[in-house]
Amino acid sequence: MRIRIATRGSRLSLIQTEIIMNMIRRVEPNVQFDVIIVKTTGDIVQDKPLYAIGVKGIFEKEVNLALLKNEADIAVHSLKDLPSEISPGLVVAGFSPRDPPFDVLVVRDDYPGDLTALPNGARVGTSSVRRRAFLLSVRRDISISVIRGNVDTRINKLIRGDYDAIVIAEAGLVRLMSDLKSLHIKYTRIPLDLLPPAPGQGIIAAVVREKDTDLIDLLNRASDPRARAEALAERAFLRTIGGGCHVPVGGIAIYGEDHMEFIAGMADLDGGRKVLVKLSGSQSNPEELGINAARELLKRWNEDKTHSNT
């Protein structure tokens, strides 16, 4: 069996592709892969924040186009980069075990390493409006600046002093750790109730054509059941909330021993107002939990807005 697998060309993307390939090899040892590199608009345009480029699913559509043009059989993505609705004819069918879902504050090893310990006016780099909004809700006195580029590019900008700190996904650091271990940096997790992560953060997703039922079955067998349940809850949350990467909202499902918990939050762009909700639900119906979390968050947000205006 031979599978063509499409991915972006960054070091992190290639590592994530290798993780998906190894998942498949565990259930189908004789499979062979051809890796197809796709250059996306998000990779090419590095001088603008993501929300300013004006393309929804900026890291997703061009990779998935390889499937629609029958140039590839599987497309690999960070699940957090996938919008709630992907191209017609495609389906998210594979889910890797989840790496840590936290956002982390990364600093040089001679600089204060905790969000609360940052000096007034510290320059913090992020390209995410979600991170910006929630960071400002905790520290109104820091200076948020746009930073673009791959994880290693952002860390190099930090090391040369362009920023005092950067905020990125811990999962990316974990996957690149062997490349980064010689650098003089340290990082601290930001608690989920201070900075709810992007839905899907820490999970690698495999997208296929919905007509390729054999591949869907293969990915079902290869996927991590816990990550699948969390992903289904979080994508149902995202669809219900109606958000994309430019909306300051975060949400995460946590698979427990006998239930699932959902933490979700929404904040104003300037961090002046923030609402957080926590719900529990059944493991057997993760999508219902995600929908309920979105509805409760929107309800609380609207109630809080009404009270703020009176």
Q: What is the pLDDT of residues 36-50, one digit of tens each?
A: 999 876 554 444 555
Asked whether residue 16 is domain-assigned, the answer is no
CB-based contact 158:168 (threshold 8 Å): no
| Chain mean position to CA 104 | 13
Q: Is 245 a residue of the active site?
A: yes
Asked whether residue 117 is domain-assigned, the answer is yes
Q: Is 148 a residue of the active site?
A: yes
In 96-236 the beta strands, taken as DSSP E runs, fall at 103-108, 123-125, 143-145, 165-169, 185-189, 204-209
Asked whether residue 154 is domain-assigned, the answer is yes
CB-based contact 9:38 (threshold 8 Å): yes
Rounded to an integer, the average pLDDT of 157-176 is: 95
Q: How confident is the model at residue 55 (pLDDT cuts 50, 70, 90)?
A: very low
Q: Is 8 a residue of the active site?
A: no
Q: How does pLDDT run across 72-123, given as a tens digit for each residue?
A: 999 999 999 998 889 999 999 999 999 999 999 999 999 998 999 999 999 9
Which residue out of 8, 98, 164, 245 is catalytically annotated? Answer: 245
Q: Is 295 a residue of the active site?
A: no
| Chain mean position to CA 157 | 21
Asked whether residue 37 is domain-assigned, the answer is no
Q: Is 80 a residue of the active site?
A: yes
Q: How does pLDDT run across 5-37, given as a tens digit for each residue?
A: 999 999 999 999 999 999 999 999 999 999 999
Give the residue from 229, 233, 231, 210 showing the smallest Cα distance to 74.
Answer: 210
Q: Write the Ramachandran bin of 70: left for phi over 0, alpha for psi from -120 to 50, otherwise beta.
A: left
Average pLDDT in the chain: 91
Which residue out of 8, 131, 209, 235 is catalytically annotated? Answer: 131
Q: Is the dihedral of CA 107, 110, 113, 117 positive or negative?
A: negative
Within 8 A by CB and 6+ apart from 31, the residues are 1, 2, 3, 24, 25
Which residue out of 61, 148, 186, 273 is catalytically annotated? Answer: 148
Determine how many CB atoms are found less than 10 A away from the CB of residue 34. 11
How many domains, the chain? 1
Q: Is 56 a residue of the active site?
A: no
Q: Kind of pairing, strands 74-78 and 123-125?
A: unpaired
* Residue span of the structural domain in which 121 resides: 103-189
Q: Is 130 a residue of the active site?
A: yes
Report the b/e string of 88-115 with b at 16+ CB within 10 A: eebbbbbbbebbebbbbbbbbeebebeb
At residue 296, the 3 state secondary structure works out as helix
Quick one: pLDDT at residue 247?
A: 65
Which residue out of 8, 98, 108, 130 is catalytically annotated? Answer: 130
Which residue out of 73, 81, 103, 164 is catalytically annotated? Answer: 81
Quick one: pLDDT at residue 178?
A: 80
Which residue out of 80, 98, 235, 274 is catalytically annotated? Answer: 80
Q: How confident is the model at residue 308 (pLDDT cuts 50, 70, 90)?
A: low
Asked whether residue 39 is domain-assigned, the answer is no
Asked whether residue 283 is domain-assigned, the answer is no
Q: How does pLDDT run across 73-83, given as a tens digit for each residue?
A: 999 999 999 98
Which residue out of 98, 108, 132, 154 is catalytically annotated? Answer: 154
Quick one: pLDDT at residue 41?
A: 64
Q: Which two tokens stand for residue 5?
A: 């697998």
Quick one: pLDDT at residue 244?
A: 47
Q: Is the pLDDT of residue 292 over 70?
A: yes
Q: Which two tokens stand for residue 69?
A: 């043009």
Q: How does pLDDT run across 204-232, given as a tens digit for each residue?
A: 999 999 999 999 999 999 999 999 999 99
CA atoms within 13 A on the CB side of 83: 19
Asked whether residue 71 is domain-assigned, the answer is no
Residue at 206: amino acid letter: A
Q: Tell me how far apart the alpha carbons of residues 75 and 45 are, in angstroms, rounded to a whole number.
A: 21
The domain spanning residue 166 has which CATH number? 3.40.190.10
Give the total residue count for the chain. 310
